Amino acid sequence: MKKLLLRLLRDLLLKLIVIVVIGDWLFTVAGYLGHFHWSLDLFSHFRVQYLVVALACVAGFGCFRARWWVLIGLGCALLNAVVIVPWYLPRSLSEARPRAHNFRVLLCNVLWKNQNYAAVIDLVQAEKPDVFVLQEAEGQWLRAMRPLASEYPFQRNVLEHDGRIGCFSRHELQDAGAGVASGNPHQRIVTRLDLNGRSVSIITLHAPSPLSREESQERNRQLSEIALVARQLPPPTIVVGDFNASLWTPYFTEMVRDSGLVEARKGFGVLPTWPNFSATLNRPLGVNIFPLVKIPVDHCLVSPDIKVVNCRTGSDVGSDHLPLIVDLFIDANKR
């Protein structure tokens, strides 16, 4: 009787793992079909999660000595690993990475209902970026940043769907130039600054969440438009913002290709930034549950002449996003 129960339990567990790996395969393949329907594109964001599930299934099949299912699980893992592993490889094996940066960018989607102004001020004072960008910043957020006015006297802001985008800089912010802001200028800032005699172009935007066909189309349109604007600007160029698109959606891939820019994460890993559950579940700061559901939707893209010294996520500031901090080296001798 005991052997029979163990056999039934074994068969049940094996069937459950089979169901899980089949589902993992379906989600994995669906994520590659985003061009066919907006809802399929939503499956593209969870490549890391699919990889983890596939490897867990492989381990389970190994315990049951189900060799063919081990191969099926490995196939699913490989299909996801091929688009994850490259983010951990250096941008160029022949190009030496500078030891020090001369320009730091900090991006923070603060969450429109978040009121933890002090945490953001402390983060800025600790990291000392040259430029920091706040998104979903209600009017009170912009007023709350006044203690930083002496260090960041230059500011641009624009209305967006969940508040404002604020761009704060140690360096004077200037007009980007005629023609580069063609199309709908809302929900983005296009500006430039002088860094040791070299003009640096900066774009920041907050694209809509793709939770419906209309919102998905609008996000894709904004990404395509930003790629065009980035092409019009003279390098060096930095594009930073919450794109509401992960590294693996085809629309983000097309934006990077069409803009001629490079994702700053390259060589530093996936660095997921959303969702940060300490905020979304109204839990105390520092408590993050279910970290494996996080995806990378906050981005910094740079022109190829900019060297990325470091790219990392920042500390929890009570938002549903983690900040993104990027250290860059911009050669003032190049023109």
What residue spans define the domains of the chain?
A: 2-87, 89-329
Assess whether the previous peptide bond of 296 is cis (omega < 30° from 0). no
Euclidean distance between CA atoms 51 and 204, whole angstroms: 31
Give the C-alpha distances (Å, rounded to integers) separating 230 from 66, 106, 156, 180, 326: 51, 19, 18, 8, 19
For residue range 259-269, what is the model confidence (pLDDT) as tens digits?
Answer: 999 999 999 99
DSSP reduced 3-state for 327: strand
- The pLDDT, as a whole number, for residue 281 is 52
* 96, pLDDT greater than 90: no
- Average pLDDT across the chain, whole number: 89
Q: E-strand spans in the chain?
A: 103-109, 131-135, 154-160, 163-169, 173-175, 188-195, 198-206, 237-242, 262-263, 298-302, 307-313, 324-329
> Could you tell me whether strands 131-135 and 103-109 are parallel, antiparallel, or unpaired per DSSP bridges?
parallel
For residue range 169-220, what is the model confidence (pLDDT) as tens digits?
Answer: 999 999 865 455 545 555 789 999 999 889 999 999 999 999 999 999 999 9
Rounded to two decimals, what is the model's pTM?
0.90
- The pLDDT, as a whole number, for residue 278 is 60
User: Which tokens go with 307?
Assistant: 């060297």
Euclidean distance between CA atoms 25 and 42, whole angstroms: 15
| Record: fold of 89-329 | Deoxyribonuclease I; Chain A (3.60.10)
**Which residue is it, tokens 């995806």?**
295
Q: Give the DSSP letter string of 138-161.
A: -HHHHHHTGGGTTT--EEEEEEET
For residue range 222-275, what is the model confidence (pLDDT) as tens digits?
Answer: 999 999 999 999 999 999 999 999 999 999 999 999 999 999 999 999 999 999
246 and 256 Cβ atoms separated by less than 8 Å: no
